[in-house]
Structure 1
Amino acid sequence: MERKEYYAVIFTSKRTDGDNGYGKMAERMEELAGQQPGFIGIESARDANLGITVSYWESLEAIKHWKENSAHQTAQKLGKSSWYEDYFVRICKVERDYGMNE
């Protein structure tokens, strides 16, 4: 199904050693993001060195509201202090999408 233009937030990260509560918080953030207006979906992959999470949103305003969510801000602070050696965020406009079975 082709969708009109939307946005992708690409979060790449290098984790610190150990879980330190990361797994539980990641599950909570995915659940909470799913409740936000404008949220479309999320995909994530991780190996020993690199994690990539892509969340999809209907608008830049929806992304802004998610960034400002108080629980998400708490997770961001913990990420900076405990969970990530490094990370990078990219916000992209998706103009077209398609798949193998479409």
Structure 2
Amino acid sequence: MSDHSEAAVAPVEAFEPPYYVAVFSAVRTEDQSGYGETNARMEDLVKDIPGFLGADHAQTPGGLSITVGYFRDADALTEWRSNAEHRAAQKRGRAEWYQNYTLHVAKVERSHAFKRA
């Protein structure tokens, strides 16, 4: 059993459907120079997108990282996709930080949550 004494960890809440998710799964390269700063900037920037609902992040011990971004509607997702700083970060990611990645975008039609009392 893991030690839960660290800061509380919780997934993004379940929202009333429909809404959209962007699932970005990646394996990064060895050289991550500048990645942390750029990632932090992207996390701050996406919060300013009207309709951004939140994001979940996970990483496996083997190096697979997964980010799921939640968006109220397709317009919010389009605004994020076309943001100039985000586009520049994507370009740098392909050139420097990612060995490979996949992006899946889906419309959520059903959503529920559970929380132990």
TM over 0.5: yes
Q: C-alpha offsets along residues 66-99 of structure 1, whole Å, 9 cap, x if unaligned?
A: 1110100110011000000101100011112112
**Which has the larger share of helix?**
1
Q: Identity over aligned residues, as a percent? A: 36
Residue type at the aligned position of 1:17: E
Task: Confirm or deny: 8 A CA contact 1:2 1:96 kept in the other structure.
Answer: no
Q: What is the distance in 1 between the residues matched to 2:15 and 2:24?
A: 24
Deviation at 1:55, TM superposition (A): 0.2
Deviation at 1:31, TM superposition (A): 0.8
Task: Confirm or deny: 8 A CA contact 1:7 1:57 kept in the other structure.
Answer: yes
Q: What is the distance in 2 between the residues matched to 1:55 and 1:42?
A: 4
2:47 aligned residue: 34
Match of 1:72 among 86, 98, 108: 86
Larger Rg: 2
Match of 2:72 among 46, 49, 58: 58
After TM superposition, the runs of 4+ consecutive aligned structure 1 residues lying more than 4 A away are none
Inter-CA distance 101–75: structure 2 relative to 1 (3 Å threshold) = same
Deviation at 1:2, TM superposition (A): 4.9
Task: Confirm or deny: 8 A CA contact 2:32 2:96 kept in the other structure.
Answer: no
Inter-CA distance 2–21: structure 2 relative to 1 (3 Å threshold) = closer
Q: Secondary structure at the match of 1:36?
A: coil
User: Is the counterpart of residue 23 in structure 1 residue 39 in structure 2?
Assistant: no
Q: What is the distance in 2 between the residues matched to 1:44 and 1:2?
A: 18
Match of 2:101 among 84, 87, 94: 87
Task: Confirm or deny: 8 A CA contact 2:21 2:108 kept in the other structure.
Answer: yes
Q: TM-score, normalised by structure 1?
A: 0.92
Superposed counterparts of 1:7-22, under 5 Å: 7-22=20-35
1:97 aligned residue: 111
